[in-house]
DNA sequence: CCAATAGTGTCTGTAAGACAATATGGG
DNA sequence: CCCATATTGTCTTACAGACACTATTGG
């Protein structure tokens, strides 16, 4: 979130759109952050975001700020609204209402430095959140985990929990992989997001029994990985809900 | 949502808090509505709501507007944020960002006319939404179903779907009943919100096996209803999540 | 005794979880 | 052949759903 001083005779309340962009790199769940160039929280990492313009809707604002701050164009992933944060003093300068969004993305193009932020990069979520999934808050930041600017630690925690929950009952895991993909790749998405291990046999059975989750990739060709048997290829299916659901362990 | 003209040199964007208050009357899911006294949509029914004040958080704003417009004080129920609606032209007068909330309430005090609205009353949700759960939109309003003002039909549909979903995996159904309650009363909550019938034997088994959902009411006394066997009484349990979940039929 | 409601018991199909066994590719 | 990975098979336990049956009150 980047907030500049209110303009002349400006609004008593500012509306911004922030975005939690998640992807997977090296089997780790990572989030896109930008380093703040100006006070407050100068030098601290924050979520991309900025003011909502008069004639754009909230999702457009989130995507525009993402491009401006990180250079991440196009966004061939999944985007949804997360939650709105509006505590009176969440920004020390003025009242700021922030509509947070959640973006899920396959790991393809990496961010290059944008115009508004001095740096933009992906960072592992595990280094930013406490083990129990709570935000690395001011009281006890996780070891070597710098707390995020503003209430962005809380927003990140909410976004990660939303992603973890939606992997259970929606086909959103496929937003993290490029087509075509193997079931092993899809299974590694679940393992990275949930932070657990998933049995390969059970995952296969559940993924294929959930109608419309994935569909076989026409050539039925396989893709070898590292000396093993080539895996079948799949594409995203038409389902919007998973039946039956893929439940997280340890409930 | 009630929006008045912006003040002198007012903000370019207004922030309001609306609230979908649901309760159950005569085995029907009903929603609190207020009749608009002024244009636009004069005379149409709308959700309670209004401007967020500078030093209150979003939930406080929603509750304050609810009291002002409906006289419903205290609110001994459940309140949570629903979603934020910010399409550029959702209000014809100016840009309005509305943070919608969802309130669940036992049927106790009925609303009396408030100050800001000419009338406030509960209306059955089934008369306002199309059978498939979509909002009674402008193209084809359900028979004798007046469309709500602004995009409140969509907000209502989202709120009802949220309530239906959360009955599955959370103990929120207990927010609709007064303590102590019988399992039959709790079961009728599920039937009213889901619009389905629920087997009494299966409901009992599931409700009692979900740890922390309900706890026996000390006296272990029964309450007769209409000539039948007195039912055991229960109170809300400490659980925040239901294990196993109570799934809706017909998935 | 009858009506009405509360509560119990039983059976079946589906699915989760654990884990063994087999298949198929590359060195 | 050996290794690594993919894929199939099996068994156990849990639970949803349907429905028959018993229990307890008031009239």
For the segment A51-60, what is each residue's pLDDT rounded down to a tens digit? 999 999 999 9
Question: Band of the pLDDT at A189, cuts 50, 70, 90?
Answer: very high
Range with the poorest average pLDDT among A190-194, A226-230, A244-248, B178-182? A226-230
Q: Are residues B185 and B103 in the same domain?
A: no
Mean pLDDT on A34-48: 94
| Nucleotides in D strand less than 7 A from protein CB | 3-10, 14-20, 23-27
Q: In chain A, which residue's Cα lies nearest the Cα of B251?
A: A243
Say whether the CB atom of A183 is under 7 angstroms from strand D.
Answer: yes
| Angle at the Cα of A103 from the Cα atoms of A97 and A105, rounded to 5 degrees | 160
Q: What domain range includes position B111?
A: 13-134
Q: Are residues A106 and A65 in the same domain?
A: yes
CATH code of B201's domain: 1.10.10.10
A81 touches chain B (CB under 8 A): yes
Q: Are residues A39 and A130 in the same domain?
A: yes
Range with the poorest average pLDDT among A74-78, A79-83, B17-21, B220-224? B220-224
Q: Are residues A178 and A162 in the same domain?
A: no
| Nucleotides in C strand less than 7 A from protein CB | 3-10, 14-21, 23-27
Compute CA distances B15 → A11, A153, B152, whole Å: 11, 24, 16
**Whole-number distance in Å between B50 CA and D17 C1':** 46
Q: Are residues A177 and A144 in the same domain?
A: no
Closest CA to A108 of A81, A73, A79: A73
Chain B closest-CA separation from residue A26 CA (Å):
33
Q: Which tokens in the block code for residue A105?
A: 């993305």
Question: Band of the pLDDT at B107, cuts 50, 70, 90?
Answer: confident
Closest residue to C20 measured CA to C1′: A201
Chain B residues lying within 8 Å of A54, measured CB to CB? 12-13, 88, 95
- B88-91: long-range pairs with CB below 8 Å, 24+: B88/A54, B88/A55, B88/A56, B88/A57, B90/B150, B90/B151, B91/B3, B91/B14, B91/B40, B91/B150
Q: Are residues A117 and A60 in the same domain?
A: yes
pLDDT of residue A113: 47
Q: Are residues A179 and A55 in the same domain?
A: no
B88 touches chain A (CB under 8 A): yes
Q: Is a pLDDT exceeding 70 seen at residue B133?
A: no
Q: Is a pLDDT exceeding 70 seen at residue A126?
A: yes
The nucleotide lying nearest A228 (C-alpha to C1') is D5
The answer to whether position A88 is within a domain reads: yes
Residue B9 has its nearest CB partner, among A9, A57, A88, at: A9
Q: Are residues A154 and A40 in the same domain?
A: yes
Say whether the CB atom of B76 is under 7 angstroms from strand D.
Answer: no
pLDDT of residue A11: 54
Task: With CB atoms and an 8 Å threshold, state whether B56 touches A88.
Answer: yes
The answer to whether position B192 is within a domain reads: yes
Which one of A166, A184, A201 terminates a domain? A166
Please, is B71 exposed, middle or buried when counting C-beta atoms within 10 Å of its C-beta (0-12, 13-18, 19+)? Answer: middle
Q: In this structure, how many other beta carbons lie within 10 angstroms of the beta carbon of residue B76?
A: 11
The rounded mean pLDDT for chain A is 87
Chain A closest-CA separation from residue B110 CA (Å):
30
Range with the poorest average pLDDT among A97-111, B113-127, B169-183? B113-127
Task: With CB atoms and an 8 Å threshold, state whether B81 touches A83.
Answer: yes
DSSP letter assigned to residue B24: E
Residues 6+ apart with CB under 8 A from B171: B210, B212, B213, B214, B236, B237, B239, B240, B241, B242
pLDDT of residue B71: 82
Chain B residues lying within 8 Å of A243, measured CB to CB? 251
CATH code of B96's domain: 3.90.79.10
Can you spell out the DSSP letters for chain A?
---PPP-TT--SEEEEEEEEEEEEETTEEEEEEEE--SSSSTT-EE--EEEPPTTS-HHHHHHHHHHHHH---S--SEEEEEEEE--TTSSSSSEEEEEEEEEE--S-SPP---SSSSEEEEEEGGGTB-TTS-B--SSSPPTT-PPPSTTHHHHHHHHHHHHHHHHHHSGGGGGGSPSSB-HHHHHHHHHHHHTS---HHHHHHHHHHSTTSEEE-TT--EE--SSSPPEE-EEE-S-SS-SS--PPS--
A79 touches chain B (CB under 8 A): no
Mean pLDDT on B175-183: 96
The answer to whether position B143 is within a domain reads: no
**Whole-number distance in Å between A201 CA and D4 C1':** 16
Selected residue of A59, A86, A165 to mutate for chain B interface (largest B Cβ count, 10 A): A86
Chain B residues lying within 8 Å of A91, measured CB to CB? none
Mean pLDDT on B166-187: 97
CB contact burial B5-44 (16+ within 10 A = b; e otherwise):
eeeeeebebbbbbbbbbbbbeeeebbbbbbbbeeeebeeb
B97, B17 contact by CB (below 8 A): no
The answer to whether position A248 is within a domain reads: no
Task: With CB atoms and an 8 Å threshold, state whether A86 touches B99.
Answer: yes
pLDDT of residue B240: 97
Q: Which tokens in the block code for residue B75?
A: 């609110």
Q: Is a pLDDT exceeding 70 seen at residue A224?
A: no
Range with the poorest average pLDDT among A175-179, A219-223, B6-10, B64-68? B6-10
Question: Band of the pLDDT at A156, cuts 50, 70, 90?
Answer: very high
Question: Band of the pLDDT at A2, cuts 50, 70, 90?
Answer: very low
Which one of A114, A143, A166 terminates a domain? A166
Residues 6+ apart with CB under 8 A from A141: A147
The answer to whether position A246 is within a domain reads: no
Q: Are residues A156 and A192 in the same domain?
A: no
The answer to whether position B120 is within a domain reads: yes
The answer to whether position A7 is within a domain reads: no
Return the top range by mean pLDDT from A7-16, A105-114, B146-155.
Answer: B146-155
Q: What are the backbone angles phi and psi of residue B159, rounded to the nearest 5°?
A: -65, -45
Question: Band of the pLDDT at A3, cuts 50, 70, 90?
Answer: very low
Global pTM? 0.90
The total of structural domains in chain A comes to 2
pLDDT of residue A149: 95
Q: Is a pLDDT exceeding 50 seen at residue A239?
A: yes
Q: Are residues A151 and A30 in the same domain?
A: yes
Determine what percent of chain B is predicted with pLDDT higher than 70: 82
Q: Are residues B180 and B107 in the same domain?
A: no
Determine what percent of chain A is predicted with pLDDT higher than 70: 82
Mean pLDDT on A74-85: 94
| pLDDT tens figures, B21-62 | 999 999 999 999 999 999 999 999 999 999 999 999 999 999
Which one of A139, A166, A193 terminates a domain? A166
Q: Is a pLDDT exceeding 90 seen at residue A105?
A: yes
The answer to whether position A2 is within a domain reads: no
Q: In this structure, how many other beta carbons lie within 10 angstroms of the beta carbon of residue A251?
A: 8
Q: Are residues A97 and A210 in the same domain?
A: no
Q: Is a pLDDT exceeding 90 seen at residue B92?
A: yes
Mean pLDDT on B220-249: 87
The rounded radius of gyration (Å) of the Cα atoms in chain A is 19
């Amino acid at each position: 979130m980047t907030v500049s001083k209110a303009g002349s005779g400006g609004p008593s309340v500012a509306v911004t759109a922030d975005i939690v962009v998640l992807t997977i790199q090296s089997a780790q769940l990572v989030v896109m952050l930008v380093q703040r160039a100006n006070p407050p929280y100068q030098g601290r990492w924050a979520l991309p975001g900025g003011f909502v313009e008069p004639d754009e809707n909230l999702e457009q604002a989130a995507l525009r700020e993402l491009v401006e701050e990180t250079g991440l164009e196009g966004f061939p992933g999944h985007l949804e609204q997360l939650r709105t944060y509006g505590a009176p003093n969440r920004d020390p300068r003025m009242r700021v209402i922030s509509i947070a969004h959640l973006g899920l993305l396959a790991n393809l193009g990496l961010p290059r430095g944008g115009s508004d932020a001095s740096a933009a990069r992906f960072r592992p979520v595990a280094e930013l959140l406490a083990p129990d999934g709570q935000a690395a808050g001011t009281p006890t930041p996780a070891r070597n985990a710098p707390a995020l600017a503003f209430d962005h630690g809380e927003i990140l925690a909410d976004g990660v929990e939303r992603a973890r929950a939606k992997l259970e009952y929606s086909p959103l895991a496929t937003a993290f992989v490029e087509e075509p993909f193997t079931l092993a790749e899809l299974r590694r998405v679940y393992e990275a997001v949930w932070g657990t291990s998933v049995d390969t046999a059970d995952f296969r059975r559940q993924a294929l029994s959930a109608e419309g989750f994935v569909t076989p990739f026409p050539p039925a060709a396989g893709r070898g990985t590292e000396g093993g048997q080539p895996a079948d290829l799949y594409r995203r299916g038409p389902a919007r809900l998973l039946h039956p659901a893929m439940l997280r362990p340890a409930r």
